[in-house]
């Protein structure tokens, strides 16, 4: 039994091009941390001494931070959303999370709203940070690549 490396799960971000959506590796990110944010229903019944809690839903989000690389299409797309304060469908993107350790490269695809927060808070590099908040259901599948995982293709 070995410890799972952080880089065993790699995210790919869908950037829309003239020929369709291309899923680029999310490189240059110093933070990509998932919070499940469970929604709880707590109540105390009149005939009970203790409170009861159930989980009735989830509102997952991913906090992100990256060093801006000027030729990275993922960075440029997120920066465009932040800089131009895009709203609604213009700020929704698809992210694929690939398990690089699994033999079949199992993957989960999901839509997220890009919620920018801050930028330029570091002296070492120009950084952008914010959250990806869930906008759709999980789709399970596998991922494959033709360019050593710089981009990937998702198969349901």
Partner 1 sequence: MNFIGIMRDFIKKFDGFGGKYVGIGQLNSRKNCVYIRDFGKTEVMRYYVDGTKILKRRFAAEFETGAGLGSESELETAELCEAFAEWLEEQSRIGNLPQFYGKPAIGVYLSDVEVTMHKGTQKHTLICNVEYMKGR
The whole-angstrom separation of Cα 27 and Cα 19 is 22
Cα first-last separation, the chain: 29
Give the position of tokens 């203790």. 50
Among 13, 15, 23, 25, binds partner 1 (CB under 8 A): 25
Burial of 26-38, coded b for 16+ CB within 10 Å and e otherwise, reads beebeebeeeeee
Stretch near partner 1 under the rule CB under 8 A, chosen from 1-9, 36-44, 76-84, 105-113? 1-9
**Hey, which residues between 76 and 135 contact partner 1 (CB under 8 A)?**
124
CB of 10 to partner 1, least distance (A): 5
Contact status: 151 vs partner 1 (CB under 8 A): no
Antiparallel, parallel or unpaired: β 9-17 and 20-25: antiparallel
Among 29, 112, 128, 132, binds partner 1 (CB under 8 A): 29
Q: Which is nearer to partner 1, 31 or 54 (CB)?
A: 31
10 Å CB burial of residue 108 (0-12, 13-18, 19+) is: middle
Binding partner 1 (rule: CB under 8 A), the pick from 77, 134, 149, 153 is 149
Q: Which residues of the shown chain bind partner 1 in the complex (CB under 8 A)?
A: 5-7, 10-11, 25-32, 67, 124, 148-149
């Amino acid at each position: 039994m070995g410890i799972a490396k952080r880089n065993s799960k790699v995210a790919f971000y869908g950037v829309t091009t003239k020929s369709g959506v291309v899923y680029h590796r999310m490189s240059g990110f110093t933070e990509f941390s998932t919070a499940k944010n469970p929604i709880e229903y707590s109540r105390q019944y009149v005939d009970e001494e203790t409170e009861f809690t159930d989980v009735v839903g989830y509102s997952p989000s991913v906090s992100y931070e990256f060093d801006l690389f000027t030729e990275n299409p993922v960075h440029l797309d997120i920066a465009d959303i932040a800089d131009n304060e895009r709203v609604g469908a213009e700020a929704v993107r698809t992210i694929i999370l690939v398990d690089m350790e699994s033999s079949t490269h199992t993957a989960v695809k999901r839509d997220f709203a890009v919620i920018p927060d801050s930028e330029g808070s570091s002296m070492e590099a120009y950084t952008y940070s914010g959250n990806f908040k869930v906008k759709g259901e999980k789709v399970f599948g596998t991922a494959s690549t033709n360019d050593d995982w710089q981009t990937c293709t998702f198969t349901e």
